[in-house]
């Protein structure tokens, strides 16, 4: 090969490989920048804060001196996400099983397709539907809960519009259902056919096949799919901002309005926020960022372990 | 080895003999039970004076589950009763989930369709007060399209090149770190991406609200999706293709550009379109960075714009009937836009599928 | 235990495609019958119709009768789950349950009975079947380790122990050695020879020496052209098939002139 073509080839290779490497590094830089810039603003806000950032039940960030804390937001975010997970995960596993092992084949393909499409519906539309359609539907259910379980305090209901953390949790559950179903179904469908046939050949019923092969095989997949859903629920903004009637109090009842979440608070307070108000919102955003990092990191660890595991018996 | 007498080759008492015709419930019995339970549920509901149809349904469901399990356990045995319970539960999950999701689509179409017409699509909200009828979403569509295109101009080159790096060049700790952080980036809440651009672009560098500021936040959300899907597609390209090209003396970068990327282009396009659909529906960063505008602003780099999701949020916030109608109509347009992108993406994936060897 | 199989005019389909047609054959109890024939001749499909595993494949259906000691497996009211309990199966690739230990793999089928076994009873059954599969000495110290950690040949013997633990009448083996090395293959062949005292065994094999070594009777399947259904050409004593078959096609196949 003539030497000049060789050198241009080398030059081309060097340029291209450095370009692609540079993109990867840029991506890392963006991640670092997100953490750094949020932290810078957060420090400004927390320094000026007269309240305790972690324990104060108020958000007067625009006052002079500013007085705010994330206790209510942390509580609301965690509680609504937990409600969403408790409702969504079992149902999602059920639908995934329905698609992978129970539904007639043609129906299953169609449903799988629709589930994937539903996962793409923008959250603002869930929010609009939640606020204008779901909220009025839920008063009946809440009255019933209050009648039988109101004595616990957690399910006490005063009859006001159902703009509560419970409603938020239900709406978030509906929102994250498609994504959890979609991921879980993929994992279930990958259950080795050989193992399922082995169970069948031993005389297993359909449920026994599922219990012996599909569920053990898919367990870590279900966990990581749930974490993915949890991450979405924690950071969801619009669906919460439209449905919740916020307040800076922690209400013992999940059915009565009040409370707030990080993302909802940022979206609702932003337009009225001054310079210090914005810094305070960014500080709360940093906490949300760390919270989702934690959840996603855990999900990745589980997936990585699963890879090692499935490699062992490939 | 001395085994007890019972475990010699001929006799093994521990295992029960199996009959090929165990007692089974006839196939019509489930339908009969369902009808019977429903009738009972309605009867109890009428007699007990329960107002809610949902309660009737719940009573019927409980009766159905209980009688099916009892009958099946009595006739077919525990194993088959459990099997039936599992099947009922799985079907129930499906039905429980279908109801709200179908209602969501139905409400959007039913309430949105009357408002969508040519006027709605071609006019802005300039001069329309919240309680008045009329107005449109032209300015919002314009904003969404510009912001999404700008976002992909930023995210696509970075995302594609990063994926190429990870699959074709990446070794060692840097590649591992990038892989990990791409995953982490996928999970960033959109409002956090918005806050980042807010603190950097608007608060620190002192630029104003603009479509471009929103596009940068959207690009952050889009990048990891593009990297992930492109990476998956590039991994599907068989190594033999690369080796064949390299063996002919084609330099690596030309092999990637001329052989690897074209082979995977169908799948990459699908991934990109799904990413576009995803960011087109984002609202939170737009609230923080684009701010919203009732007038047409064709310049994404200067001044506040609108966008479809933001428009829906604003109209919802006005709380008047006219504004609600506009919100539903805009929601229908947004859903249609996202669905068309999705369907097209999946169409491409199916159309191009054989070329990736799947 | 060990029952006679009597197949009468069996035809099997995948959707609209006819995979095998008009097969009539008898399998004697406590004997080994080998199915041989070129790829795609339907011998594996036929094997899977003998315990109703064929219908697990989407679109799979069957016409004709398979009598197990006078009882039709496809008769009305017959439960496929019970059929598979009675007619066990060992697959081409070893497929122990990856999430279960060696012990649990062997006990897996028993746990489906709905009967509660005492721990000591279960221990005995597991040991007996692992001994039966010539695997006990190799695994007795690691019964609680995952079955996927064993070698391919050991895994296949584990699968045989798993299949025999539920005490089927018939044991179907679908090319059980095709994924194994020669030494493991020999171990399985020894095992088959030993097990025929207890079970009716049907084995599909691509390896004609193996058929000649392990089987009492051999059935030769063939198809007239690609896309045509597979048919049974002849079935006879193994010695007769390999020395003096009555059909020319059988002789051509055995002597390596085609297939």
- Report yes or no: A188 and A94 within 8 Å, Cβ to Cβ: no
Instruction: Give B53 or A110, the one with higher predicted confidence.
Output: A110
Answer whether residue A68 is part of any domain: yes
Residue C63: beta bridge partners?
C11
Name every chain A residue with its beta carbon within 8 A of the beta carbon of C170: none
Confidence check: pLDDT of A2 > 80: no
Name every chain C residue with its beta carbon within 8 A of the beta carbon of A202: 84-85, 88, 108-109, 112, 162-163, 166
- Report yes or no: C143 and C102 within 8 Å, Cβ to Cβ: yes
Interchain contact, B94 vs A34, CB within 8 Å: no
Question: What tokens appear for B214 in the block?
Answer: 């929103």
Interchain contact, A203 vs C85, CB within 8 Å: yes
Question: What tokens appear for B64 in the block?
Answer: 């159905």
**Interface pTM (ipTM) of the complex?**
0.88
Answer whether residue A82 is part of any domain: yes
Report DSSP state, residue C229: P
Assigned CATH class of B138-356: mainly alpha
Question: Which residues, at least 6 apart from B355, have a Cβ–Cβ distance to it below 8 Å?
Answer: B263, B266
Question: What tokens appear for C81 in the block?
Answer: 């789950």
Interchain contact, B162 vs A27, CB within 8 Å: yes
Give the mean model confidence (pLDDT) for residues A135-157.
85
Question: Which residues, at least 6 apart from B300, have a Cβ–Cβ distance to it below 8 Å?
Answer: B143, B146, B147, B150, B210, B211, B212, B215
Name every chain A residue with its beta carbon within 8 A of the beta carbon of C106: none
Interchain contact, A203 vs C109, CB within 8 Å: yes
> A139: domain range?
59-189+215-312
Name every chain C residue with its beta carbon within 8 A of the beta carbon of B12: 125, 128, 167
Instruction: Give A85 or A64, the one with higher predicted confidence.
Output: A85
Answer whether residue A87 is part of any domain: yes
Name every chain C residue with its beta carbon within 8 A of the beta carbon of B79: 112, 114
The SS3 of residue A38 is: helix
Q: What is the CA radius of gyration of chain C?
A: 18
- Report yes or no: B114 and B304 within 8 Å, Cβ to Cβ: no
Q: Is residue B255 classed exposed, middle or buried when 0-12, 13-18 and 19+ CB atoms within 10 A define those classes? A: buried
pLDDT tens sequence across B287-331: 988 888 888 888 888 888 889 999 999 999 998 888 999 999 999
Query: How many structural domains does chain A have?
Result: 1
pLDDT tens sequence across C31-43: 999 999 888 888 8
Answer whether residue A273 is part of any domain: yes
Whole-number Å distance between alpha carbons of B249 and B246: 5
Give the mean model confidence (pLDDT) for residues B77-83.
85
Confidence check: pLDDT of B86 > 60: yes
Answer whether residue A39 is part of any domain: no
Residue of chain A whose alpha carbon sits nearest to that of C173? A201
CATH number where A79 lies: 1.10.3720.10
User: How many interface pairs between B and C have CB atoms less than 8 angstroms apart?
Assistant: 50
Whole-number Å distance between alpha carbons of A145 and A143: 5
Question: What tokens appear for A177 in the block?
Answer: 């259902």
Q: Which of A36-45, A304-313, B57-66, B249-258 has the highest mean pLDDT?
A: A36-45
Q: What percent of chain A has pLDDT over 90?
A: 40
Interchain contact, C95 vs A212, CB within 8 Å: no
Whole-number Å distance between alpha carbons of A119 and B186: 15
Confidence of residue B13 (pLDDT cuts 50, 70, 90): very low
pLDDT tens sequence across B176-229: 889 888 888 888 999 999 999 999 998 889 898 899 999 999 999 999 999 989
What is the nearest CA distance from C246 to chain A, expressed in angstroms? 35
Give per-10-residue mean pLDDT for chain C (259 aa): 85 90 91 90 91 88 90 88 90 89 90 78 91 88 89 91 89 89 87 89 91 92 86 91 89 77
- Residue in C124, C132, C163, C171 to test binding to B, most B beta-carbons within 10 Å: C124
What is the nearest CA distance from B21 to chain C, expressed in angstroms? 5
Instruction: Give B195 or A248, the one with higher predicted confidence.
Output: B195
* E strand or H helix at B78: helix B78-112
Interchain contact, C53 vs A201, CB within 8 Å: yes
Q: For domain C5-254, give the fold.
A: Rossmann fold (3.40.50)
The 10 Å CB-count burial string (b at 16+, else e) for B318-341 is eeeebbbbbbbbbbbbbbebbbeb
In sequence order, which ranges of chain C are alpha helices (DSSP H)? 43-49, 80-86, 102-107, 119-132, 136-139, 152-165, 182-195, 208-214, 238-243, 248-254
Residue of chain C whose alpha carbon sits nearest to that of B8? C128
Residue with tokens 């599969």: C133
Instruction: Give A15 or B45, the one with higher predicted confidence.
Output: A15
Interchain contact, B191 vs A234, CB within 8 Å: no
Residue of chain C whose alpha carbon sits nearest to that of B81? C114
Q: Over chain B, what is the mean pLDDT?
A: 85
- Report yes or no: B185 and A26 within 8 Å, Cβ to Cβ: no
* pLDDT recorded at residue B161: 93
Answer whether residue A263 is part of any domain: yes
- Residue of A201, A216, A313 with shortest CB distance to C51: A201
Whole-number Å distance between alpha carbons of B310 and A241: 12
* pLDDT recorded at residue B355: 47
- Residue of B108, B183, B277 with shortest CB distance to A296: B183
Residue with tokens 């855990």: A298
pLDDT tens sequence across B135-149: 889 999 999 999 999
What is the nearest CA distance from B340 to chain C, expressed in angstroms? 32
Answer whether residue A240 is part of any domain: yes
Question: Which residues, at least 6 apart from A265, have a Cβ–Cβ distance to it below 8 Å?
Answer: A59, A73, A246, A281, A284
* pLDDT recorded at residue B18: 65
* pLDDT recorded at residue B254: 87
Which residue ranges make up each domain of chain B?
A: 23-111, 138-356
Confidence check: pLDDT of A303 > 80: no
- Report yes or no: A218 and A302 within 8 Å, Cβ to Cβ: no
């Amino acid at each position: 090969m003539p030497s000049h073509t060789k050198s241009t080839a080398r030059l081309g290779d060097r340029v291209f490989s450095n370009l692609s490497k540079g993109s990867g590094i840029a991506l890392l830089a963006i991640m670092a920048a997100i953490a750094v810039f949020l932290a810078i603003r957060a420090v400004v806000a927390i320094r000026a804060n007269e309240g305790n950032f972690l324990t104060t039940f108020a958000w007067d960030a625009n006052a002079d001196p500013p007085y705010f804390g994330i206790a209510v937001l942390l509580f609301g975010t965690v509680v609504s996400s937990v409600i969403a997970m408790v409702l969504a995960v079992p149902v999602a596993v059920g639908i995934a099983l329905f698609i992978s092992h129970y539904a007639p084949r043609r129906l299953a393909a169609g449903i799988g397709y629709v589930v994937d499409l539903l996962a793409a519906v923008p959250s603002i539309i869930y929010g609009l539907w939640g606020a204008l359609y779901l909220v009025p539907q839920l008063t009946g259910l809440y009255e019933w809960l209050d009648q039988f379980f109101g004595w616990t305090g957690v399910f006490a209901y005063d009859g006001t519009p159902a703009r509560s953390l419970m409603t938020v949790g239900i709406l978030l559950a509906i929102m994250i259902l498609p994504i959890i179903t979609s991921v879980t179904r993929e994992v279930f469908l990958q259950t080795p056919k050989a193992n399922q046939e082995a169970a069948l050949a031993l005389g297993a019923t359909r449920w026994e096949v599922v219990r012996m092969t599909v569920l053990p095989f898919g367990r870590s997949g279900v966990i990581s799919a749930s974490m993915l859903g949890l991450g979405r629920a924690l950071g969801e903004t619009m669906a919460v901002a439209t449905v919740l009637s916020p307040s800076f109090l922690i209400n013992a009842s999940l059915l009565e309005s009040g409370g707030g979440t990080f993302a909802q608070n940022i979206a609702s307070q932003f337009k009225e926020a001054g310079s210090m108000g914005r810094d305070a919102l960014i500080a709360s955003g940093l906490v949300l960022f760390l919270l989702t990092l934690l959840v996603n990191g855990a999900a990745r660890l589980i997936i990585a372990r699963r890879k090692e595991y499935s490699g062992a018996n490939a | 080895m001395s085994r007890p007498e019972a475990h010699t080759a001929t006799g093994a008492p521990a295992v029960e003999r199996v009959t090929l015709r165990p007692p089974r419930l006839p196939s019509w019995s489930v339908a009969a039970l369902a009808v019977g339970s429903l009738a009972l549920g309605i009867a109890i509901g009428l007699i007990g004076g329960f107002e809610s149809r949902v309660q009737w349904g719940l009573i019927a469901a409980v009766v159905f589950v209980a009688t099916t399990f009892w009958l099946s356990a009595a006739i077919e045995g525990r194993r088959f009763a459990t099997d039936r319970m599992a099947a009922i539960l799985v079907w129930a999950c499906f039905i429980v989930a279908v109801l709200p999701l179908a209602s969501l689509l139905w409400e959007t179409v039913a309430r949105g369709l009357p408002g969508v017409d040519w006027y709605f699509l071609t006019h802005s909200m300039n001069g329309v007060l919240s309680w008045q009828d009329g107005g449109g979403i032209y300015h919002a569509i314009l904003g969404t399209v510009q912001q999404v295109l700008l976002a992909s101009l930023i995210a696509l080159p970075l995302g594609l090149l990063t994926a190429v790096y990870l699959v074709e060049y990446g070794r060692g700790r840097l590649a591992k770190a990038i892989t990990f952080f791409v995953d982490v980036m996928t999970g960033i809440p959109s409002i956090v991406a918005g806050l980042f651009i807010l603190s950097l672009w608007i608060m620190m560098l002192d630029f104003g609200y603009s479509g471009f500021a929103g596009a940068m936040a959207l690009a952050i959300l889009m990048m990891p999706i593009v990297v992930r899907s492109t990476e998956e597609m590039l991994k599907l390209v068989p190594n033999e293709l690369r080796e064949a090209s390299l063996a002919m003396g084609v330099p690596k970068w030309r092999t990637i550009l001329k052989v690897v990327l074209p082979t995977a282009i169908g799948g990459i396009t699908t991934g990109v379109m799904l990413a576009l659909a995803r960011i087109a529906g984002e609202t939170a960063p737009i609230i923080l960075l684009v701010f919203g505008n009732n007038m047409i602003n064709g310049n994404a780099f200067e001044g506040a714009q609108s966008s479809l999701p933001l428009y829906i949020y604003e109209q919802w916030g006005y709380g008047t009937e006219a504004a609600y109608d506009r919100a539903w109509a805009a929601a229908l347009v947004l859903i249609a836009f996202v669905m068309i992108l999705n369907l097209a993406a999946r169409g491409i994936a199916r159309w191009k599928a054989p070329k990736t060897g799947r | 235990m060990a029952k006679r199989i009597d197949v009468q005019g069996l035809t099997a389909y995948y959707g609209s495609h006819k995979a095998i047609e008009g097969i009539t054959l008898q399998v004697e109890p406590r004997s080994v019958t080998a199915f041989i024939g070129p790829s795609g001749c339907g011998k594996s499909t036929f094997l899977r119709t003998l315990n109703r595993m064929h219908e697990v494949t989407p679109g799979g259906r069957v016409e004709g009768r398979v009598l197990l000691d006078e009882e039709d497996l496809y008769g009305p009211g017959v439960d496929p789950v019970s059929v598979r309990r009675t007619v066990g199966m060992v697959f081409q690739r070893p497929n122990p349950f990856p999430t279960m230990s060696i012990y649990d793999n062997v006990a897996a089928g028993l746990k489906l009975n709905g009967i509660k076994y005492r721990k000591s009873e279960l221990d005995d059954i597991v040991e007996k079947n692992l001994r039966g599969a010539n695997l006990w000495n190799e695994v007795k110290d690691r019964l609680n380790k995952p079955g996927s950690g064993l070698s391919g040949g050991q895994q296949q013997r584990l699968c045989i122990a798993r299949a025999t633990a539920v005490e089927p009448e018939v044991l179907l083996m679908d090319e059980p050695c095709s994924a194994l090395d020669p030494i493991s293959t020999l171990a399985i062949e020894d095992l088959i020879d030993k097990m025929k005292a207890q079970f009716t065994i049907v084995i599909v094999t691509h390896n004609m020496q193996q058929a000649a070594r392990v089987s009492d009777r051999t059935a030769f399947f063939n198809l007239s052209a690609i896309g045509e259904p597979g048919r049974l050409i002849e079935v006879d004593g193994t010695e007769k098939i390999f020395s003096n078959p009555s059909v020319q096609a059988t002789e051509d196949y055995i002597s390596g002139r085609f297939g």
